[in-house]
Chains A and B, each alone.
Chain A
Amino acid sequence: MKLIDKMIQCKINGITVNVEAGSTVLDAAEKAGIHVPTLCHLDLHDVGIVNQNANCRVCMVEDEKRGTLVPSCAEKVTDGMRIQTDSLKAVMARRTSLELLLSNHPQDCLTCVKNLDCELQSLAYEMNIKEIHYHGEKMSHPKDLTSRGITKDTNKCIMCRRCVTMCDEVQTVGVLSPLKRGFDVVVATAFHLDLGQTSCTYCGQCVSVCPTGALAEMNDAPKVWRALNDKQNHVVVQVAPAVRVAVGEMFGYAPGEISTGKVVSGLRRLGFDKVFDTNFAADLTIIEEANELINRIETGGTLPMLTSCCPAWVQFIEAQFPELLSVPSSCKSPQQMMGAVTKSYYADKTGIDPKDIVMVSIMPCVAKKAEAAREEFNRQGLQDVDFVLTTREFSRMLKEAAIDFKKLPEESFDELLGESTGAATIFGTTGGVIEAATRTAYEMVTGKELKDVNFKQMRGLEGIREAQVEVGDVTLRIGIAHELGNARKLLESIRDGKNHFDAIEIMACPGGCIGGGGQPYHHGNTDILKKRQQALYKLDGAMKKRKSHENDMVMKLYEDYLEKPGSPKAHELLHTTYSTKARI
């Protein structure tokens, strides 16, 4: 039965609307231009995420013919249906639902991490709630502050289950589930384990969709303030590509605003001694990665080679596919390469004791916090990267320091580790890393100039994409996946021998780092992700140099220090290993 072809008619508040059969009342209301408040509902069709379980009851409307209330997010339109969204009955039902939710919610908005960015708070304002008429038992659960990336305050949970949908269905990690029943229901890990004891990847997508402050990133700002205020320290910061096209949203700019220069000057005002560009390390990553790929192809090594820039993805493969640990590239991520190079090459060049260097990164990502803490990234007692702040935490620090972002001047990154190419810029979007690698691999293999650097077939927001590129006599077969559920599908097809690729790029978050768990909240608007993505390609297109191997500072690093790609020194500083993690 092809329901989709049939159009049916209904009336919303007296307005006639024609919708496809199978549409919800909420869809129809939207078509009629009528706003119905929602809370648990989350529909991100563009990136394949739909949470539609009708459990918050905040979107109740009245079905006039039946005289009953229905949840508009889940109720399907029937032919001739008459819906009233603003009848007293409907309004009171919505208000009651919200008041009941609020009656079991800590009223500590002033100090909550989500203050002014909370969907529950917005709804309370929108529905003009001035008093909560229900008083009774409240949830009382301990906070989980044990993991290296995510904090969980269950008392703020409203059981919308967006995080469960995200973790279980979209990412297929399955760390969270509703446990127990009735009033005792709690969204938790298996056996109430600490997040750090589970196979959580710290992708932070649960944080991205949580409507309240129940899930948040670990707040590392206090540690960074302390480091900045210690005179002994030489505090160096790096900024990931996806941050510069999103941070403006925190200060009232439209999505896709490019604020690279303001980010740099803002960081200087916060007191960082040097402001380096993670893009420098992204170019470095490409040189190492392209070299590794060519090596693997020429020597009959393991293929496909998988990119290893995304730490959530690395956590995922270590727990879910331990039999495939030989496929990811041994390259560290740009964040870690930057840390390693700063505490070796930069320290050497400047004569600063690496022990005095504090490396901070500004990342669109929550998993980068956990990545920075990994044992593999400790050399001589020093972590490559000391502290990681998300885009949101960075913005909050600027606000805290009373820095007016809009008035900040445009400034440039510091010398030595500040130059980058267009190839590095697109690291922030799905498809970007592999496109950047292809640009360099092409010239490395053929020795010829690549005239058109735009590999459009690798771009887009499709969950799984494939591309073939002629590189001299070889056809490179390329796979791209974003979101871990898509990565799982791609990996299973490789493991089962159904699909063959030479190189695969995987990013855990929707759209790649532009949709990272540490980015400004998109509140269900995926157009924001598209705008950020367009901004990155715009930045790339505007660059004079668009191939990583044209980065002069990177080339100088090889000349002065690393010798050549894949050298023993490069291996010591820029490569890593993987190990099996428990799957819980």
Chain B
Amino acid sequence: MREKILDRSTLDTALLARLDAYIDSLKGDKQEQLIHVLHKAQELFGHLPHNLQLYVAHALGLSGARVNGVVTFYSFFNEEPVGKYVTSVCMGTACFVKGADKVLERTLNLLGTKKGEMSPDGLFTVKDIRCIGACGLAPVVTINEKVYGKVKVGQIDDILSRYRGEKRAD
């Protein structure tokens, strides 16, 4: 299984070409810009499978362990495929005090999924994330780019239903 995951030849060559072009366009020390490259890679591929991380490592002359260390440090990066709507529940101190754990629990229950895993309908991936700096709005939930503040447990079903009406793009 692992051999397969590490095999870079299975990656989409058209997308890789776009990633290469992006890396080429970077000025200065490219190794220093690993995070930008990973952002771009995730934007192109949707998530960062192991073989893609290795591809980035080789392209920038970094070790696979270093790249994997950065990818697993930031909750923004996904090693596994994610749903169409990435739902992030902020677990920073302020949000936590305001009941973020209950918000998270309710969200997972409603979607019938586990933390970090895609919901059965393929629409949602729920993550708990560190402080996003919107403490005044605690507790905060973001769905893709949209921010929901002062979320009450009772509102979650309503919020999710706004997204459930749509079908998966692919």
A interface vs B, CB < 8 Å? 168, 173-181, 188-191, 193, 197-198, 582-584
Contacts and interface: CB of A to CB of B under 8 A. Distances in A.
Interface stretch (B33-41, B58-66, B107-115): B58-66
Contacts of A180: 72-73
B73 A176 contact: no
Contacts of A191: 2, 5-6, 50, 53, 64, 68
Contacts of A176: 65
Nearest to A179: B72
B54 interface: yes
B89 interface: no
B65 A189 contact: yes
A43 to B, nearest CB: 23
Interface of B: 2, 5-6, 50, 53-54, 57-58, 62-69, 72-73
Given A168-B63, A174-B62, A191-B5, A179 B69 contact: yes
A564 to B, nearest CB: 45
Candidate in A168, A177, A180, A583 with the most chain B CB atoms within 10 angstroms: A177
Contacts of A190: 50, 53-54, 57, 63-65, 67-68
A173 B68 CA distance: 15
B62 A181 contact: no
A177 B2 contact: no
B74 to A, nearest CB: 8
B79 to A, nearest CB: 8
A173 B64 CA distance: 10
Nearest to A194: B2
Contacts of B72: 179-181
Nearest to A180: B72
B28 to A, nearest CB: 21
Contacts of A179: 65, 68-69, 72-73
Candidate in B50, B54, B65 with the most chain A CB atoms within 10 angstroms: B65
Majority DSSP secondary structure for residues of B touching A: helix
Nearest to B67: A190
Contacts of B64: 174, 190-191, 198, 584
B78 to A, nearest CB: 14
Contacts, number: 54
Contacts of A584: 6, 54, 64
16 contacts: A174-B63, A175-B63, A176-B65, A177-B63, A177-B65, A177-B66, A179-B65, A179-B68, A179-B72, A189-B65, A190-B57, A191-B2, A191-B68, A193-B2, A198-B65, A583-B58
Given A179-B65, A190-B57, A198-B64, 20 more contacts: A168-B63, A168-B66, A173-B63, A174-B62, A174-B65, A176-B65, A177-B63, A177-B68, A178-B69, A179-B69, A179-B72, A179-B73, A181-B72, A181-B73, A190-B63, A190-B67, A191-B53, A191-B64, A193-B2, A584-B6
Contacts of A198: 64-65
Candidate in A168, A177, A191 with the most chain B CB atoms within 10 angstroms: A191
B123 to A, nearest CB: 27
A174 B66 contact: yes
A191 B54 CA distance: 10
A202 to B, nearest CB: 16
Candidate in A168, A582, A584 with the most chain B CB atoms within 10 angstroms: A584
A174 B58 CA distance: 12
B69 A177 contact: yes
A90 B159 CA distance: 51
Contacts of B69: 177-179
Contacts of B53: 190-191
A583 to B, nearest CB: 7
Contacts of A197: 2
A55 to B, nearest CB: 15
A464 B95 CA distance: 55
Contacts of B6: 191, 582, 584
A290 to B, nearest CB: 36
Contacts of A193: 2
Contacts of A178: 69
A175 B58 contact: no
Candidate in B6, B54, B62, B72 with the most chain A CB atoms within 10 angstroms: B72
A23 B57 CA distance: 35
Contacts of B66: 168, 174, 177
Contacts of A177: 63, 65-66, 68-69
A198 to B, nearest CB: 8
Kindly list the 3 A-B residue pairs having the minimum CB-CB distance in the complex, ordered from nearest. A174-B63, A190-B64, A177-B65
Nearest to A176: B65
Nearest to A193: B2
A191 B67 CA distance: 10
A178 B66 CA distance: 8
A168 B57 CA distance: 14
A232 to B, nearest CB: 39
Contacts of A168: 63, 65-66
Candidate in B2, B5, B58, B68 with the most chain A CB atoms within 10 angstroms: B68
Contacts of B57: 190
A256 to B, nearest CB: 36
Nearest to B74: A181
Contacts of A582: 6
A191 B5 CA distance: 10
Contacts of B54: 190, 584
B92 to A, nearest CB: 13
A270 B139 CA distance: 68
Contacts of A181: 72-73
